[in-house]
Chains A and B, each alone.
Chain A
Amino acid sequence: GAGVSQSPSNKVTEKGKDVELRCDPISGHTALYWYRQRLGQGLEFLIYFQGNSAPDKSGLPSDRFSAERTGESVSTLTIQRTQQEDSAVYLCASSRITLSYNEQFFGPGTRLTVL
């Protein structure tokens, strides 16, 4: 079946511009996550959506970052006034949730380069 998809796969932008990244989760997965991975580093949690609950935004690094998700469908991550330190791969994941089991399925990521 279809996995998590993300678009665009690559994005090059100029410093100060806004960018929007898209994630299509696996159908039926109520949970959706955004992570950032800088070159050579591990993943940093950004934000988490679970159904209609208020999102967990604890990982967003600044108010330039925001994300939306409508119901259990597509999510967009928006970065306003991009800075060079925003350059990274942005990864989206989705999962079903149970108390004991939470396998997150990751998309291929969007590589963002801010010039």
Chain B
Amino acid sequence: DAKTTQPTSMDCAEGRAANLPCNHSTISGNEYVYWYRQIHSQGPQYIIHGLKNNETNEMASLIITEDRKSSTLILPHATLRDTAVYYCIVRPSGGNKLVFGAGTILRVKS
């Protein structure tokens, strides 16, 4: 499985966009980029995933660079409830286990 690199922590002002970067320079052609988050004392929660194209859902947008070596998760209007650890994961097509790194601690501040 390709390894991912994320900043340890980030701060964001409430109401602003939170942009969380992830490097996955060893990603291969059939590997998807997944984002999960874990709010304190809860299990992880799926956010979004993508292969090549940018993706958007009700929670976030995922921007994947053309060479697929990095991506950015965008929370368009961060709220205090978005404070969590955000995990960027690379998973092969049909792969079954998720390899979680340390993630990025996002602190949304009022």
- The interface of chain A, by Cβ under 8 A from chain B, is 4, 31, 33, 35, 41-45, 48, 50, 56, 59, 91, 93, 97-109
- The interface of chain B, by Cβ under 8 A from chain A, is 32, 36, 42-46, 49, 51, 87, 91, 93-103
Q: Considering only CB atoms, which chain B residue lies closest to A47 in the complex?
A: B97
23 A-B interface contacts by CB (under 8 A)? A4-B43, A42-B103, A43-B44, A43-B98, A43-B100, A48-B97, A50-B96, A91-B44, A93-B43, A93-B44, A97-B96, A99-B93, A99-B94, A100-B32, A100-B51, A101-B49, A103-B49, A104-B44, A104-B46, A105-B46, A106-B43, A108-B43, A109-B43
Q: Considering only CB atoms, which chain A residue lies closest to B101 in the complex?
A: A42
Among B95, B101, B102, the residue within 8 A (CB) of A102 is B95
A-B contact count (CB 8 A): 56
Q: How many angstroms from the CA of A99 to the CA of B102 in the assembled complex?
A: 26
Which residues of A have CB within 8 Å of B100?
35, 42-44
Contact B96 A102 (CB under 8 A): yes
18 more CB-based (< 8 A) A-B contacts, given A45-B99, A102-B95 = A4-B43, A35-B100, A41-B102, A42-B100, A43-B100, A45-B97, A48-B97, A50-B96, A56-B97, A97-B94, A99-B93, A99-B94, A102-B96, A103-B46, A104-B44, A104-B46, A107-B43, A109-B43
Which residues of B have CB within 8 Å of A99?
93-94
Contact A102 B91 (CB under 8 A): yes
Q: How many angstroms from the CA of A100 to the CA of B43 in the assembled complex?
A: 23
